């Protein structure tokens, strides 16, 4: 038996597009949106995803038109986007340089249970506050085989690799590396 969601209302959210959730474009089902109160994960349809992949760049300001639904049994709220409007800057030909910084955050259950989601949202917020979010690629990974030190996050700067560091330290290293 599937979950029964009740449609609550239509909502319009304005914020900064942080990226899609998933390892590969064919697996994307959600996008992350930074709003003043934190970050939201919003479900997107496959039709909408196709147009967003071609046009949307992390860091852009967007307005998302969505429907909010509630599961009365679990009290879980779900947002489903039906339209995304780009506002603010729109770097059409923006591409990350080849020798860019990359942050790999484990999203397997052990790391998530030990604070992986909090680490990811704090990392995104810290980078966004410092204007670095569009200069780094955040990759959601499977198990990094270091479960005893969960949650796991690896920063790759060129050929250098940094493990188990705080988001503020990551931001500082990125600022030094990119300037």
Supply the mean pLDDT for the chain.
82
**What is the average pLDDT across 150-170?**
86
Whether the pLDDT of residue 23 is over 50: the answer is: yes
In the chain, the percentage of residues whose pLDDT exceeds 90 is: 9
What 3 state SS string does 58-115 have?
CCCEEEEEEEEEEECCCCEEEEEEEEEEEECCCCCCCCCCCCCEEEEEECCHHHHHHH
- The total of other beta-carbon atoms located within 10 Å of residue 119's CB is 20
**Token pair of 11 as six digits:** 């909502």
Q: 114 φ, ψ to 5°?
A: -95, 20
Tell which wins on pLDDT, 37 or 151: 151
pTM of the full structure: 0.47
Whether the pLDDT of residue 35 is over 60: the answer is: yes
CA atoms within 13 A on the CB side of 132: 26
Q: Which residues contact 178 (CB under 8 A, 6 or more apart)?
A: 101, 132, 135
Determine the pLDDT at residue 89: 56
């Amino acid at each position: 038996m599937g979950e029964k969601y009740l449609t609550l209302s239509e909502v319009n959210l304005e914020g900064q597009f942080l990226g899609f959730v998933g390892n590969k474009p064919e697996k994307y089902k959600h996008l992350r949106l930074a709003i003043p109160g934190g970050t939201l994960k919003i479900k997107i349809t496959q039709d909408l995803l196709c147009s967003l992949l071609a046009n949307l760049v992390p860091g852009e300001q967007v307005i998302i038109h969505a429907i909010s639904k509630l599961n009365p049994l679990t009290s879980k709220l779900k947002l489903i986007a039906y339209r995304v409007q780009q506002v603010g800057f729109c770097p059409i030909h923006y591409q990350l340089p080849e020798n860019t910084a990359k942050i790999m955050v484990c999203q397997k259950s052990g790391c998530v249970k030990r604070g992986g989601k909090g680490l990811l949202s704090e990392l995104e917020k810290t980078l966004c506050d410092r204007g670095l979010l569009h200069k780094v690629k955040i990759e959601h990974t499977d198990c990094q085989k270091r479960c005893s030190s969960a949650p796991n996050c690896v920063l790759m700067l060129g050929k250098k690799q940094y493990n188990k560091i705080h988001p503020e330290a990551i931001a500082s290293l990125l600022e030094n590396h990119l300037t």
